[in-house]
Structure 1
């Protein structure tokens, strides 16, 4: 599989040489690096794609994922939220935001994000699990 991504990197770099304003080539080059766990290079290319296409929800999402894999939850959360601005009906984005908010201890906001994820995908086991984990917190908050 690694060879496949190495080959893709070569081709995307060639495409960029032909047109250095080719946002999809930078984005896909970032994806190839991401799949090889080369997060620094993935981020570099995602950011270039984002400069060329600032409204790209997918680009923000992948930047967020790369930061998350690097353990930078603040930058990850920022980019998931930017992704959500351009793709508000994507339950996966809501789910990722909910998980990060829960990790930060922002339980009330996390609960709302899990609810939104479930509203958009009523078969989301992960959203249900999150709501279940946080339901005691919400009940306690209501009873105060």
Structure 2
């Protein structure tokens, strides 16, 4: 096992000190290779050492302007700091350079969501679902952007796919409850709000939805 792989395994085990030691050795042994800087940058993001992380990613790009994963790392760094336009620019650059992974499409979709550009988020979230069709969080966010873009029937279909993977996804039940209300199906809405609260009793939005539906039923 090479040092990069070993260090990544240490990162997964949250043994950050050993990971840093090995990444440092990789950089010392191969100072002109961008991979060590990228991996060290990813480690620094996890440790919230944002300024240092940025310098490592930028060094990787200085060594190789087509290092797609360095742009992806910068995108994640800026996303965590809510610097969404800068995150968007770097995720797009990573994709243009050929990074064809669900995560980069997903993160670009989330970045656009956070800028309330829901329709622009859709093709990236769709691509993320194509690359990783069984990831419930990717599917959920895709469904959310569909709903926010007023594609309600498509959103409902996607939310139902989430429940096929995880019947206990409380936010999906809540959103299906909201869609049911739009369709004037009060009983179905109440069922979904109740399910959301069964799974997550402190779900404030579901509690509010249930209260409103029960009030509507009582008035009728």
TM-score (norm 1): 0.85
- Flag the 1:18–1:54 CA change in 2: closer, same or farther, 3 A: closer
CA distance in structure 2 between the partners assigned to 1:39 and 1:106 by the alignment: 25
Query: 3-state SS of the aligned residue for 1:129?
Result: helix
Question: Conserved in 2, the CA contact under 8 Å of 1:63 and 1:76?
Answer: yes
**Structure having greater relative contact order (Cα 8 Å, sep ≥ 6):** 1
Tell me how large the CA RMSD over aligned residues is.
Answer: 2.1
Please state how far the C-alpha of 1:71 moved relative to its aligned partner. 1.3
Counting matched residue pairs gives 139
For residue 58 of structure 2, what is the aligned residue in structure 1? 13
Structure 2: runs of 5 or more not aligned: 1-44, 187-220
CA distance in structure 1 between the partners assigned to 2:153 and 2:143 by the alignment: 10
CA distance in structure 2 between the partners assigned to 1:89 and 1:22 by the alignment: 28
CA distance in structure 1 between the partners assigned to 2:108 and 2:115 by the alignment: 11
Please state how far the C-alpha of 1:116 moved relative to its aligned partner. 0.4
Question: Conserved in 2, the CA contact under 8 Å of 1:117 and 1:124?
Answer: yes
- Would you say 1:132 and 2:161 are equivalent positions? no
CA distance in structure 2 between the partners assigned to 1:102 and 1:46 by the alignment: 24
For residue 121 of structure 1, what is the aligned residue in structure 2? 166
